[in-house]
Structures are given as C-alpha cells and as structure tokens.
C-alpha cells in the first residue's frame, strides 16, 4: 500500500514515510492510493478491538517497515475498553472515552506514539500539535516517556475548559505547552506554517500529531469497524453512525472504514455553531470562517483541515449528512440525556444526541450508533449545573489534577513559535 497527496497523486510514499512527514511536501494531506476491500467474513465475531485493528490496518502497512510491529502496536495502543451501550430500540452509545485522558483522541495518539518509537531515527523528532481541547492532552500523555520524540502543544487561550488546560500543561520535560493568544484556527495555521518552513522543518525534525497525520486516522477506523461488524453479525444490518466532529478527523475515519467495504450505512456529522461544514452540505461550497466559541469547544473549528480529504472523492458524500447544533440545544440535550436516560454527556456527545433527535422518524428508527467522544467530567463546569448533580472523576484523571501546570504564552505568529522551538 502506498500513500499519495490530496494535491499530487504521482508521488507515492509508504505508510512510515507518510507518518514521519505528517503533511505532504506540496502542502496536501496523505491519503491511501486505494482502499482495500473487506467482507464481514474476513473478521471473526470473537475478535476484540486490537485484533480487528490488526486485520484491518494490516493492508495499509503491508509493504511497510512497521508491518511486523503492527500486532504489538495495536495491542499496546488499544489496551482499554470500548463499551457499546444500548440506549433505546434505535440508538446505542459507542463510548470512546475510557482511555488514559478520557477522550477518543487516545486511540490515535497512542497508536501514533507507538509508531514513532518503532521507526528508527538519528535525530529526535519534534511533534507539533494544535489542539482545540482534547488532542493535545492525549498526545502529551502518549509521548510523555517517548524516547524518539518531544512534543510542543499549541492551544487557544481562554478556549479550553479548566480541566482540559490542566491536561494540556501537566506533562514532564518531554512536553511543552504553548498558550496561543488566538483561536484554534490560529494554532492550526502556525503548525502548518512551521511545516512549510524548510529551515524549521530540517533543524527540528518536525512531525505532526494532528489528524492531518494518517497515523491518527487509520487507528480510528478500527472502532468503527469493530462496532459495525458486531452489529452486522448480530442483526444482519449495517450500522449507522452519528459523529460529533470539528476538524473532521473522526468523521473521515468512519468514511474510510466504509470505503473499505465494511457494513456501515449512513453517517451524520454533528457540528456545533461553527457551520462551515454544514454550509457545504447545504449549498455545495466550503467557506471557512473564524471559529466561534461554543460549549462544545473541541469542535470550535472554522476551517476543518480534513475537508481536503473529503473533497477529493464524491463517493464520501453519498449517505453522508451534516447538522449544526446551537449551544441552547446542547444544554437541553444534556438535561434530556440525564433525565430521560440517566446519561451524563459531554457537550460534544450532546451535539450527536440532538442530531439523532432531529432525524425524521422513519430514519431514526434505523439503528444508530452515537459516538461518545469524551467523559463528561472534563466539562463538569458546564454539565453539573444543568443536571444538578456532582460528576465523579474517572480514575485516569485524578492523578493529573495533582500535577504541576506549566505553559508558555505566545502571540499567534510564526517567529514566536520558532523562538520556542
């Protein structure tokens, strides 16, 4: 399997080369040259998540130096549970927040860290990661003890929850947190500018841990495959997914899994008041805008990077829809989820529940999987006043709160980032 740029389909690289580069030399994003095809019979009903991942991802690493390492990488990266909980006759919750930082970003971050540590290098890498909330914490955790890379996290000042900020700034000397005086799009722009600067790229051996890196998207395909295969083997029906998404990484992972022939039907992207993706689905034109601060802050993205991967193939748009959800709807969804179903949802998962409620009855009666992206405790300042109860902290987050917090404040300018590097 080879990977090509979204902007230049002639140059081909291996999976490891694409992982190390992060972004293609022409500024495009790497995508598979083709999607291998699977049937449900290629998987056993008894396979756990890591075993499904090895079978699925093996085709993408077939001629790569990491091929023999893949079983160990998947086993180490996916060593936490992925519960699927029925909520009603037509809705199940796919809980992706049981990793060490209580967010779905743990899947991709841990897989990426395992890959980097197993690819030989003479010079230690510098991982740049822009975050709107959860990505940076997951990457910091995954790379804290890495022998092959150090991490620089860029997060927007005043745009993350207190617990998220603690989780971004509490790691050891291997991880540096930068508080950018701007929004997430400013952070993302700085990372892209650094990669475009050949001097910085070569001097600091830069690499990416955002969802622009294929080692973030490829492992995220695994939990969609896992849930869809279980559903099909039980019911004989395809699974439909509702995915809270901002930068479109989690959404594209599902579409990639569907492109591989897995039993996935309809896909709905649930976005917040940042409406550029919704507008595209409504009128066919992507018009990026400055990001808007919302309760679902990890999705506060006005210019989603992964749209470039979406736009290269019209087949991705088939049976794919998008909804935009307001803060008021998010609040009501959190209240309804708790009072009607005894569920405590983070604001992002609450967006997905609103999207399900908004479906026409005949479509809502098909079976849907709502992707729950983060533990509600990470947003307890929002959730607790709405449900009138105190949320218990997951064990994985208790230790983090006792750690010291350190960050460097910078302006949203490349020279400021270069000085820190």
Higher-pLDDT residue of 174 and 399 is: 174
Check residue 122 and give its pLDDT.
82
pLDDT digits (tens, 9 = 90+) for 55-76: 999 999 999 999 999 999 999 9
Position 171 scores a pLDDT of 92
Rounded Cα distance between 410 and 154, Å, is: 9
Instruction: Report pLDDT digits (tens) over 75-132.
Output: 999 999 999 999 988 999 999 999 999 999 999 999 999 999 999 888 889 999 998 7
Percent of the chain with pLDDT over 70: 100
DSSP, res 10? S
Cα–Cα distance, 184 to 274 (Å, whole number): 12
Residue 37: pLDDT over 90: yes
> Which H, E and C letters describe 47-64, residue by residue?
CCHHHHHHHHHCCCCCCC
Whether residue 256 is predicted with pLDDT greater than 90 in this model: the reply is: yes
Domains and CATH numbers, the chain: 81-104+215-392 (3.40.50.1100)
Catalytic residue among 2, 59, 85, 105: 105
Query: Is 411 a residue of the active site?
Result: no
What own/partner pairs with CB < 8 Å and gap ≥ 24 does 169-172 have? Answer: 169/405, 169/406, 169/407, 170/140, 170/400, 170/403, 170/404, 170/405, 170/406, 171/140, 171/141, 171/144, 171/403, 172/144, 172/145
What are the residues facing 283 on neighbouring strands?
none
- Say how far apart CA 42 and CA 178 lie, in whole Å: 45
């Amino acid at each position: 399997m080879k990977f090509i740029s979204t902007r230049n389909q002639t140059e081909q690289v291996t999976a490891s080369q694409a992982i190390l580069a992060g972004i293609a030399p022409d500024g495009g994003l790497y995508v598979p040259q083709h999607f291998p095809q699977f049937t449900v019979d290629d998987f056993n009903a008894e396979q756990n998540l890591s075993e499904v991942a090895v079978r699925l991802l093996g085709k993408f690493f077939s001629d790569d130096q990491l091929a023999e390492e893949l079983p160990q990488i998947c086993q180490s990266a996916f060593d936490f549970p992925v519960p699927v909980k029925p909520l009603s006759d037509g809705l199940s919750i796919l809980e992706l927040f049981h990793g060490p930082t209580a967010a779905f970003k743990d899947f991709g971050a841990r897989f990426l860290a395992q890959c980097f540590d197993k690819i030989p290098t003479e010079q230690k890498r510098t991982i740049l990661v822009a975050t709107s909330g959860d990505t940076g914490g997951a990457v910091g955790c995954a790379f804290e003890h890495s022998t092959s890379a150090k991490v620089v996290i860029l997060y927007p000042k005043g745009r993350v929850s207190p617990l998220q900020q603690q989780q971004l700034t509490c790691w050891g000397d291997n991880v540096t947190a930068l508080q950018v005086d701007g929004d997430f799009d400013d952070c993302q722009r700085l990372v892209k500018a650094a990669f475009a600067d050949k001097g910085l790229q070569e001097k600091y051996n830069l690499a990416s841990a955002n969802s622009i890196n294929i080692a973030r998207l490829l492992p995220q395909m695994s939990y969609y495959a896992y849930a869809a295969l279980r559903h099909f083997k039980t019911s004989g029906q395809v699974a439909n997914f509702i995915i809270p998404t901002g930068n479109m990484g989690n959404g594209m992972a599902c579409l990639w899994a569907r492109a591989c022939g897995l039993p996935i039907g309809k896909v709905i992207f649930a976005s917040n008041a940042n409406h550029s993706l919704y507008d595209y689905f409504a009128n066919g034109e992507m018009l990026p805008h400055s990001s808007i601060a919302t309760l679902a802050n990890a999705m506060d993205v006005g210019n989603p990077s992964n749209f470039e991967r979406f736009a290269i193939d019209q087949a991705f748009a088939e049976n794919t829809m998008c909804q935009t959800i307001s803060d008021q709807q998010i609040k009501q969804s959190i209240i309804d989820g708790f009072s009607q179903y005894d569920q405590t949802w983070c604001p992002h998962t609450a967006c997905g529940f609103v999207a399900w409620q908004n479906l026409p009855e005949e479509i809502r009666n098909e079976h849907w999987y709502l992707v729950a992206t983060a533990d509600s405790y990470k947003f307890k300042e929002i959730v607790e006043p709405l449900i009138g109860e105190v949320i218990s902290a997951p064990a994985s987050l208790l230790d983090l709160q006792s750690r010291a917090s350190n960050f460097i404040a910078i302006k949203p300018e490349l020279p400021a980032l270069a000085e820190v590097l």
